[in-house]
Amino acid sequence: MRSRRAAVVGAAMVACLLTATGVAAGSPTWGAPVQLSPNGDGGEPVVAANARGDTVVGLQGLNSKSFEVISRSGGSQASSAPVVFPTGRGTDSAVAVDESGGAFSLFGTASFLQISERVGPTGEWRDAVTLNSEPMAWFDPQISLGAGGAVGVITTTCCPTQSVQATVRAAGAQLWSPLVGLSSGAVLLASSSIALDSAGNALAVWVESPGIVKASFRPAATAAWGTPVVLGEGSDKDLVADTRVAFDPAGNATATWIGTRQSVVSSAYRPFGGAWQPAVAISAGAAKTASLSLAVVPSGEALAVWVADGRVEGAARRSASQAWQAPTTISLATAPEGWLGLATDQAGNAVAIWTTSDFIQAALRPAANSVWQPPANVAPKSGYWAIPAVAMGATGHALAVWSQFGPSEGSDLDPSGPIITGLTVPRSATARVETHFAVTATPWASPLRGAPLWHFGDDTSATGTAITHTYTRPGRYTVSVTQADGAGTSSATAPISIIAPTLTSHSQPNIRGVPKVGQRLECLTRGWTGTAPIRYRYAWLRNNRAILGATHRRYTLRRQDTGTSIACRVTAKNVTGTISKTSRTVSVKP
């Protein structure tokens, strides 16, 4: 998600398998919004977390001209008192949390980019260090952490020259080196990104005018940035030329960016120790593409999400393949402002968050089935702007934060229970007839536990993923199903209308055929309606007396039938009972 500056300038759980109406589906749920700080007054919030749940939230103060940091420790939902850094302006910012709970906050004044460090999850924030020696205007700074303590920072600057500047502090080092320029030509503002791998190697990606995407690699062994290479064509507009870059655990790199004229999302892949592969388009064409986010999960799978013509879309690339899967639509709800965030946990679960005209919405993508679930409303949108961000810490838990040009708010995703991804409950069924039900539950934070438990609203229950049940009486019932996992339970409900069984005959049977000895007659059943299944029995009559053995739908006339009257009787049977009807007679000729 890009900076508020970019956004302002640019603007100048029910699954598809549900067959019942009025369904309430179960899944992890977002809590009621809570105010994070009374002083965060409208800037873009930033949030980061590590695998054990240590979390840092950064809040910009547009009116108070400050940057606030709020911390949580070990997955707790209790927040610390804000730590306030005076900035003199509403400032672009970034935060990061390392494996031990140490954290970094990146912010600054109008002319100087600064960084503050906290050692451990409960340590004190240190005095901010200034990273640039000469005054400059800087835009959308980014920060990346490598395993073992390496830290990388990148930003775009301007005035008089637009450039990309970066610095990397090696693992174990205490002092920061000044920012150094990477670009050879004028860059597009807010177009840079940085990533560090487990060995402390760094990759930087940015866009130079008039829309050339470049990358530079910095080996930890030499601590020198390499000659930039061209990856492809990007957007040619300041503040909307998003790029993203990330490493997987094996050291392979993925870069994504918004392509030419904001019409497409492109990506390039760099295998560990190798060269960049040719860029490919991973989205379909659009009139306007914005707000790109990228994440690579521990398995090596890459996920990208973006906004295309107001739709939230996403694509994935498996760890064993360099080919991206076809993009999918995550939400059709118009996201006009294009603010979008993406976060993943160590299990590979993902959360995307964005703003629509009326709500802040989020969608979950469980690693167990790799399918984006239908969006959920996290909070109503109450102001003209609503800028969200999201981070995932302990498996399945997420914290969403946002600002609506007032005090910043947040909501926790309760990871208890699996996701009910499919529920089959007929809208209506018939009493005394077997009815089929089915449910699909997908793990989120922990494995499923036990079989789903059904309640049918008639004081009966059953267990299983695909079951049958027979209602004995007509009426309206509520069907519920509950699935447990290691953390809790999720439930889904659906109404079902049970009607009384029926059996009706609207006309007599009819005999087809020539009534002549040696000819075959057929008894046609007509006009029967009612509850399926309806089963039929046949009897042929001679002068109103049953013919012995003539119990099939067809009957061949015999010599003894000559001169008699022949009729057929049909007896229909279902759960309601039986009804018999007899045809008109026909006279048999020799």
The pLDDT of residue 527 is 87
pLDDT digits (tens, 9 = 90+) for 206-234: 999 999 999 999 999 999 999 999 999 99
CB 269 within 8 A of CB 301: no
Specify the pLDDT at position 41: 60
Which residues on neighbouring strands pair with residue 54, listed in sequence order? Answer: none
Looking at residue 5, its amino acid is R
Q: Write out the DSSP string of 427-469.
A: SEEETTSEEEEEEEEE-SSS-EEEEEEEE-SSS-EEESSEEEE
Q: What CATH number labels 503-587?
A: 2.60.40.2700
- Summarised one tens digit per residue, pLDDT across range 174-211 is 999 999 999 988 999 989 999 999 999 999 999 999 99
Rounded to whole angstroms, the Cα distance separating 327 from 539 reads: 63
Low-confidence winner among 65-69, 170-174, 296-300, 503-507 (lowest mean pLDDT): 65-69
In this prediction, residue 15 carries a pLDDT of: 32
* Backbone dihedral angles phi then psi of residue 105, each to the nearest 5 degrees: -125, 130
Structure tokens at 245: 């870059």
pLDDT tens column, 512-548: 999 999 999 999 988 899 998 999 999 999 999 999 9
| The pLDDT of residue 329 | 95
Asked whether the predicted pLDDT for residue 2 surpasses 50, the reply is no
Q: Look at residue 322 in the predicted model and tell me its pLDDT.
A: 80
Q: Which tokens is 381 given?
A: 């949108």
Give the tens place of pLDDT for each residue, 267-320: 999 999 999 999 999 999 898 888 899 999 999 999 999 999 989 999 999 987
Rounded distance, CA 350 to CA 213, Å? 27
CA distances 219 to 166, 188, 230, Å, are: 14, 25, 18
For the chain, the structural domain boundaries read 420-499, 503-587
Sign of CA dihedral 545, 546, 548, 553: positive
Cβ atoms of 514 and 447 closer than 8 Å: no
pLDDT tens-digit map of 334-366 = 765 568 999 999 999 999 999 988 899 999 999
How far is the C-alpha of 167 from the C-alpha of 534, rounded, in Å? 79
- Separation CA 303–CA 365 (nearest Å): 10
Strand partners, 49: 55
Instruction: Identify the bridge partners of residue 405 per DSSP, sorted by sequence position.
Output: none
* Predicted pLDDT at 65: 80
Common-topology check for domains 420-499 and 503-587: yes
pLDDT category at 127 given cuts 50, 70, 90 is very high
Q: For tokens 């004081």, what's the residue?
A: 459
Residue 387: name the closest of 12, 44, 23 by CA.
Answer: 44
- pLDDT of residue 7 exceeding 70: no
Structure tokens at 410: 């947040």
Neighbouring-strand partners of residue 139:
156
- How far is C-alpha 384 from the chain's CA centre? 25
| Rounded Cα–Cα distance for residues 67 and 44 (Å) | 11
pLDDT of residue 508: 93
Q: What is the CATH number of domain 420-499?
A: 2.60.40.10
pTM for this entry: 0.85
pLDDT, mean of residues 162-169:
96
Q: Is residue 440 over pLDDT 50?
A: yes
Q: Flag whether pLDDT at 376 surpasses 90.
A: yes
Q: What is the DSSP letter of 174?
A: -
